[in-house]
Amino acid sequence: MKIQELSQEIRAKALKRIKEKTPQELSATWSHEDLTYSGEGSTIFMILPTTGCAWALAESGGCTMCSYISESSLEPVSSSTLIEIFNDLLGRYDLNEPTAIKMFTSGSFLNQGEFPLEARIEILNTLNGLENVTEVIVESRPEYVTKEEVLNCCSLIPEKIFEISMGLETSDDYTREFKVNKGFNKQDFEKAVDVIKGLKSEYNVKSKAYILIKPILTSEKDAIEEAVQTASYAEEKGVDRVSFCPSTIHKGTVMEELWRKGSYQPPRVWSVLEVLNRVRQSVKIPSIMDTSGFGSRRGPYNCKNCNDKLKKIIMKSNLNQSTIKDFKCDCKVEWETETKFGDINRSPSRIQYPKN
């Protein structure tokens, strides 16, 4: 069975189990200090619900590790509803200091089929009028990062930093196609980065690459190497910063299916630490390490003595971009053995999934 057929089959089952929620129930917001372009700074995060990621809804079945489609409305969300939700979420904050606004749409903000133009214009106009909003960050697949779309956004917030985050996941086209089922190649990504680079003389526009640590069918050792190499590749292509996403097991994904069968484990926190240390030494652009799911049954795991401590240390290091060299725990030996000798979970051939 091909990866897209498998993704589709698993996705179809997951979509049947979705409990209907209103766009308001699907929205969320929180805030904390995060790394901004001027250092540690106040950041507001918002989830704005849309019909869902076009790639996940297409024949492709979506990416093998992502279940955001289950958190989407699956029905078009009107501009007026999106604007109302945005205003409600934004109204919960004082905005009395320079603030970055991160808007997550569980898909592509720049795809007008997911996020209607009218809502984009109204929301960016509002943000443009707020002096303390210094940065606006959105996410998009590279195929929607066209000159026309980026120019449209930049012209609405000409004085703000505008960052477009793209899920590159890996610099290896084979991994991205057959293990992540991402549906684009390096050329597509580079084209999008070039669009952003081409507008830098006129606007403060930036690119960010998300890098997945440990796709399915990848050994611990290979996962570390691939993540480190991907950060270097992103820097070389002119990406402004990278954000690592160590795998967590989302429900209703190919990754979950393999995990349930004992064929996949999220990365160890030690591996995450190794990636962080190597990248912060070898790559000059800022790198953020996502710590969601750390220490949980479905997330990166070391041992119960060090999971939480390391999570806090990594979160702090994101703010000052430091390396973490002197952390010790007895569980490190086990990880060292596994990364030295273990070459499990690696498939040398195109993925075939036996039906049982």
Residues near Zn ion (CB under 5 A) are 302-303, 305-306, 329, 331
For residue 197, which of 157, 153, 150 has the smallest C-alpha distance?
150
Nearest residue (CB) to Zn ion, 103 versus 273: 273
Q: How far is the CB of 164 from ligand SF4 (least distance, A)?
A: 13
Q: Is 62 in the site for ligand SF4 (CB under 6 A)?
A: yes
Stretch that binds ligand SF4, among 8-16, 56-64, 220-228, 334-342 (CB under 6 A): 56-64
Q: Is 66 in the site for ligand SF4 (CB under 6 A)?
A: yes
For residue 99, which of 58, 131, 71, 72 has the smallest C-alpha distance?
131
Q: Which of 23, 49, 107, 299 binds ligand SF4 (CB under 6 A)?
A: 107
By rule CB under 6 A, what count of residues binds ligand SF4? 11
192: amino acid identity, one letter: A
- Cα separation of 8 and 6, whole Å? 5
- Cα separation of 108 and 115, whole Å? 7
Three-point CA angle 109, 56, 3, nearest 5°: 140
Contact of residue 68 among Zn ion, ligand SF4, none (CB under 5-8 Å per partner type): ligand SF4
Contact of residue 164 among ligand SF4, Zn ion, none (CB under 5-8 Å per partner type): none
Beta strands in 144-192 (DSSP E): 161-169
Nearest residue (CB) to ligand SF4, 186 versus 221: 186
- Owner of token pair 């990364």: 339
Contact of residue 275 among Zn ion, ligand SF4, none (CB under 5-8 Å per partner type): none
- Cα separation of 32 and 18, whole Å? 30
Contact of residue 55 among Zn ion, ligand SF4, none (CB under 5-8 Å per partner type): ligand SF4
Q: Is 63 in the site for ligand SF4 (CB under 6 A)?
A: yes
Q: How far is the CB of 289 from Zn ion (least distance, A)?
A: 17
Q: How far is the CB of 120 from ligand SF4 (least distance, A)?
A: 18
Angle between helices 117-128 and 147-156 (to 10 degrees): 40
Stretch that binds ligand SF4, among 25-33, 48-56, 188-196, 232-240 (CB under 6 A): 48-56
The contact mask relative to ligand SF4 for 124-143 (x = CB under 6 A, - = no) is -----------------x--
Q: How far is the CB of 328 from Zn ion (least distance, A)?
A: 9
Q: Is 167 in the site for ligand SF4 (CB under 6 A)?
A: yes
Contact of residue 37 among Zn ion, ligand SF4, none (CB under 5-8 Å per partner type): none
Nearest residue (CB) to ligand SF4, 169 versus 220: 169
Q: How far is the CB of 62 from ligand SF4 (least distance, A)?
A: 4
Q: How far is the CB of 237 from Zn ion (least distance, A)?
A: 36
Contact of residue 56 among Zn ion, ligand SF4, none (CB under 5-8 Å per partner type): ligand SF4
Beta strands in the chain (DSSP E): 28-36, 39-47, 99-104, 133-139, 161-169, 205-213, 241-246, 287-289
- Cα separation of 16 and 165, whole Å? 30
Q: Are the beta carbons of 47 and 26 closer than 8 angstroms? A: yes
Contact of residue 141 among Zn ion, ligand SF4, none (CB under 5-8 Å per partner type): ligand SF4
Q: Which residues contact 175 (CB under 8 A, 6 or more apart)?
A: 169, 215, 218, 226
Q: How far is the CB of 183 from ligand SF4 (least distance, A)?
A: 8
132: amino acid identity, one letter: N
Q: Is 178 in the site for ligand SF4 (CB under 6 A)?
A: no
Give the full edge-to-edge strand order of the sheet including 161-169. 28-36, 39-47, 99-104, 133-139, 161-169, 205-213, 241-246, 287-289
Q: Which residues contact 89 (CB under 8 A, 6 or more apart)?
A: 27, 28, 29, 46, 48
Q: 3-state DSSP call for residue 44?
A: strand
Using CB under 6 A, list all residues that contact ligand SF4.
53, 55-56, 62-63, 66, 68, 106-107, 141, 167
